[in-house]
């Protein structure tokens, strides 16, 4: 902790702790990498999934493993961090008690121990989780993952029916598109860089790469499994779009009209029909897409400079309907 200032170490007992319905066990890796279509790569950090056999300090995926829970469940997110580092988890859009919100200066940052975040999601929808320690750096380094809250099953629905929210639209196919920008100049810093003062450039993000859910949007995301969508005519797609970068974005669905049914984990009073969405950092939009013909549509995310509005770059994926 010699090079860290304004950090608030702790890993106390969870207030009011009970037996959970769902439990996630997360470690931290800071030795990952992402390779881009041009052959270059950058260092990536993230959460590991201890329950899946990933290491406590190494070996995680990017983005971090998604969490999936059902509304009303009591959830435990256990975060274990070694004595050299400090990290926390904020479940963005989830609104728990102060102690379980994961913001260091309002609670603590986890180091040399384990803290268990206890929460019970009330509203189905699209969220994400990330580390709010030295947030500009840690989020840019990739310490985030998707968080999906499903509605409680409707007893009148056939088994296996998937809905966006209680009594909401039914879908067959799902995509999670977390659109993010990468500035390689930020990817060589230590975890507490700048916290004691000094200019490490965290006010100035000049991205060179533009990605969708951990895949380079230059070319790879056009066909990458888990990003590009392959569906049958007649099926319904729920595309969960997460604005995971820091600059504003505009997502265009390539001529498809989408029905935006929810945003930020709340249903819209009236679904919004649109062919494009402008969003800013951390917003989420749940889009129902029902193509009426076979074909291929290219979905394009433009990354807009927060000051000039200029398009800094684009990331693309596809919806293939057969």
Q: Is the dihedral of CA 299, 303, 309, 312 positive or negative?
A: negative
Contact status: 280 vs other proteins (CB under 8 A): yes
Rounded to the nearest whole angstrom, what is the least distance from the CB of residue 226 to other proteins in the complex? 25
Q: Judged by CB under 8 A, which of 66, 166, 173, 202 binds other proteins?
A: 202
Q: Is the dihedral of CA 272, 147, 309, 312 positive or negative?
A: negative
Query: In terms of CB distance, is 172 or 264 closer to other proteins?
Result: 264
Q: Judged by CB under 8 A, which of 124, 148, 176, 205 binds other proteins?
A: 205
Query: In terms of CB distance, is 55 or 201 closer to other proteins?
Result: 201
Rounded to the nearest whole angstrom, what is the least distance from the CB of residue 23 to other proteins in the complex? 14
Q: Which residue has the tokens 């007893």?
A: 155
The torsion of the CA quartet 86, 91, 93, 97, rounded to 10 degrees, works out to -90
Which range of residues in 39-47, 50-58, 60-68, 273-281 is near other proteins by CB under 8 A?
Answer: 273-281
* Angle at alpha carbon of residue 49, lines to 55 and 315, rounded to 5°: 110
Q: What is the DSSP string of 222-278?
A: GT-BTTBEEE-TT--EEEEEEE-SSS-EEEE-TT--EEEEEETTEEEEEEEEESEEE
Question: Site map for other proteins, 144-163, x if CB under 8 A?
Answer: --------------------
Contact status: 193 vs other proteins (CB under 8 A): yes
Q: What is the DSSP letter of 21?
A: S
Q: What is the DSSP string of 62-99?
A: SSEEEEEEETT--EEEEEEE-TT--B--EEET----GG
Query: In terms of CB distance, is 106 or 233 closer to other proteins?
Result: 106
Contact status: 265 vs other proteins (CB under 8 A): yes
Is residue 87 a contact partner of residue 167, using CB atoms and an 8 Å limit? no
- Residues forming a β-bridge with 32: 44
Query: In terms of CB distance, is 39 or 269 closer to other proteins?
Result: 269
- The count of chain residues that interact with other proteins, using the rule CB under 8 A, is 64
Rounded to the nearest whole angstrom, what is the least distance from the CB of residue 311 to other proteins in the complex? 14
Query: Where does this chain bind other proteins (CB under 8 A)?
Result: 5-6, 8, 15-16, 18, 74, 92-98, 100-101, 103, 105-106, 118-123, 134-137, 139-140, 193-205, 246-248, 263-266, 268-270, 278-283, 306-309
């Amino acid at each position: 902790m010699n090079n860290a200032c304004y950090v608030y170490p702790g890993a106390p007992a969870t207030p009011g702790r009970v037996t959970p319905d769902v439990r996630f066990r997360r470690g931290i890796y800071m030795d990952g990498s992402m390779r881009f279509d041009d052959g270059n790569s950058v260092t990536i950090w993230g959460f590991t999934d201890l329950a899946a056999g990933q290491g406590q300090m190494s070996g995680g995926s990017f983005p971090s493993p998604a969490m999936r829970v059902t509304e009303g469940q009591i959830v435990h997110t256990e975060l274990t961090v070694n004595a050299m580092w400090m990290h926390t988890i904020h479940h963005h859009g989830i609104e728990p008690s102060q102690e379980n919100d994961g913001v260091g200066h309002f609670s603590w940052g986890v180091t040399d121990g384990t803290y268990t975040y206890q929460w019970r999601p009330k509203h189905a929808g699209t969220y994400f989780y990330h580390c709010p320690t030295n947030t500009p750096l840690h989020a840019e380094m990739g310490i985030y993952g998707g968080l999906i809250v499903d509605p409680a099953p409707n007893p009148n629905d056939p088994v296996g029916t998937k809905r966006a929210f209680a009594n909401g639209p039914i879908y067959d196919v799902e995509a999670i598109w977390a659109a993010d920008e990468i500035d390689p100049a930020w990817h060589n810093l230590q975890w507490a860089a700048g916290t004691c003062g000094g200019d490490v450039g965290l006010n100035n993000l000049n991205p060179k790469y533009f990605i969708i859910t951990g895949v380079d949007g230059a070319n790879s995301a056009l066909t990458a499994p888990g990003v590009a969508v392959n569906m049958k005519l007649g099926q319904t797609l729920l595309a969960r779009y997460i604005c995971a970068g820091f600059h504003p974005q505009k997502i265009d669905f390539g001529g498809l009209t989408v029905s935006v049914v929810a945003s930020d984990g709340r249903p819209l009073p009236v679904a919004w029909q649109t062919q494009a969405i402008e969003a800013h950092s951390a917003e989420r939009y749940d889009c129902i897409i029902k193509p009426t013909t076979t074909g291929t549509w290219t979905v394009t995310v433009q990354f807009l400079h927060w000051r000039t509005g200029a398009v800094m770059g684009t990331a693309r994926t596809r919806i293939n309907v057969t």
